[in-house]
Amino acid sequence: MKTIVARILSLNDAAMAEAADIIKNGGLVALPTETVYGLGANALDEAACAKVYAVKGRPSDNPLIMHISDVAMLDSIAKNVPPMAEKLIQTFWPGPLTVILQRKNVPRGTFLDTVAVRMPKNPIALRLIDLAKTPIAAPSANLSGRPSPTTAGHVLRDLSGKIDMILDGGPCEVGLESTVIDCSGDGAPVILRPGSVTREMIEGLIGPVGMATEAAKDEAPKSPGMKYRHYAPEAKLTVVVGEAEKVRAKIQSLATDTEKIGIMATAESAYYYKHKNVLIMGDSHEAIAANLFDMLRLCDEMGLEEVFVEGVAEEGLGVAIMNRLKKAASYNILKV
């Protein structure tokens, strides 16, 4: 199959209608969202969703998020939406917050009685859902386990020839997957995956919420996605955390081979390293989030064997950044 790549400069571009037809006919279209690129399929078409799993190599017990363009669409897939979820939806949609609700009529992930729903903010994503007239299931458009794609080029590298079309809307604004919050139970909602809608933002609106910790090896994870290794480059990754000066000194002392070893540093400390392969992550949590997956992919393109990453403070958006980094490093964390 030849994958069509269409750069979208206007929402009225003919490629938008073409993409919607592909979705309606059970095909796969990668689309930009404000978080990462998604691999879109008609969420109510079981065969189309099965293709998503096959193409990504996604474990079948890891359910998909349904993307909608209008709160009214929620009625077709979820029921008993609690008042706290209503509040979150009113405040953070469209945006990078996925809400887990009780399921209604959704064929995929039928082993669960819940469904994950989000209304993305990216206008291309919203228009595509509108034109296709169906919720679109859209997990990250990468091969399972690889860093999530934040540009159309990343999608093409992983899925060229395997999907019908890629809508290129430029680089993603946020760069990390949505925050996932479980509002399907009777108790306080629980954040299952941190993202750019932070715990502080959520608690400021609805009061205290839970935060799922990573499941221990033999424990069932709260969210199926939590048990898999994710976001990983080929290189061995070590996240170094602690006071900035000590972190730099530690990395200096460990990164002895300047050819095969890389360093992912904040803009502030990149200046201190004399190594050849210093990847500058950015100077704010927002910039680091937006660059993170691209840098992890770059590590592979540069043929690096080992990479040391400076950890960031685990507050606000830093919680989500560290969550992805820890998984990418298979929890290989060095505290100094």
Q: Which does 115 bind (CB under 5 to 8 A by kind): ligand AMP, Mg ion, none?
A: ligand AMP
Residue nearest to ligand AMP (CB): 225
Cβ atoms 168, 6 nearer than 8 A: yes
Binding mask 94-123 for ligand AMP (x = CB under 6 A): ------x-----------x-xxx-------
Q: Is 19 helix (H, G, I), strand (E, B) or coil?
A: helix
196 contributes a contact to ligand AMP by CB under 6 A: no
> Minimum Å distance from CB 180 to Mg ion?
11
> Minimum Å distance from CB 269 to ligand AMP?
30
Is the Cβ of residue 117 or residue 263 nearer to Mg ion in the bound state?
A: 117
Question: Rounded CA gap, 136 and 107, in Å?
Answer: 13
> Minimum Å distance from CB 193 to ligand AMP?
6
Is the Cβ of residue 197 or residue 278 nearer to Mg ion in the bound state?
A: 197
Q: Are strands 38-42 and 136-137 parallel, antiparallel or unpaired?
A: antiparallel
Residues 6+ positions from 205 with CB-CB distance below 8 Å? 87, 88, 91
Q: Which does 147 bind (CB under 5 to 8 A by kind): ligand AMP, Mg ion, none?
A: none
Q: Which of 31, 132, 180, 292 binds ligand AMP (CB under 6 A)?
A: 180
Residues 6+ positions from 253 with CB-CB distance below 8 Å? none
Residues 6+ positions from 64 with CB-CB distance below 8 Å? 43, 49, 52, 108, 109, 116, 137, 138, 139
CA 296, 301, 304, 305 dihedral sign is positive
Q: Which residues bind Mg ion (CB under 5 A)?
A: 140
Q: What six digits make up the tokens of 272?
A: 């201190």
> Minimum Å distance from CB 211 to ligand AMP?
14
> Minimum Å distance from CB 280 to ligand AMP?
26
CA 242 to chain centre: 26
Cβ atoms 100, 82 nearer than 8 A: no
Is the Cβ of residue 197 or residue 261 nearer to ligand AMP in the bound state?
A: 197
Is the Cβ of residue 140 or residue 269 nearer to Mg ion in the bound state?
A: 140
Instruction: Say which residue the tokens 């992919």 belong to.
Output: 297
62 contributes a contact to ligand AMP by CB under 6 A: yes
Question: Rounded CA gap, 332 and 336, in Å?
Answer: 13
Binding mask 206-225 for ligand AMP (x = CB under 6 A): -----------------xxx
Is the Cβ of residue 116 or residue 278 nearer to Mg ion in the bound state?
A: 116
134 contributes a contact to ligand AMP by CB under 6 A: no
Q: Which does 120 bind (CB under 5 to 8 A by kind): Mg ion, ligand AMP, none?
A: none
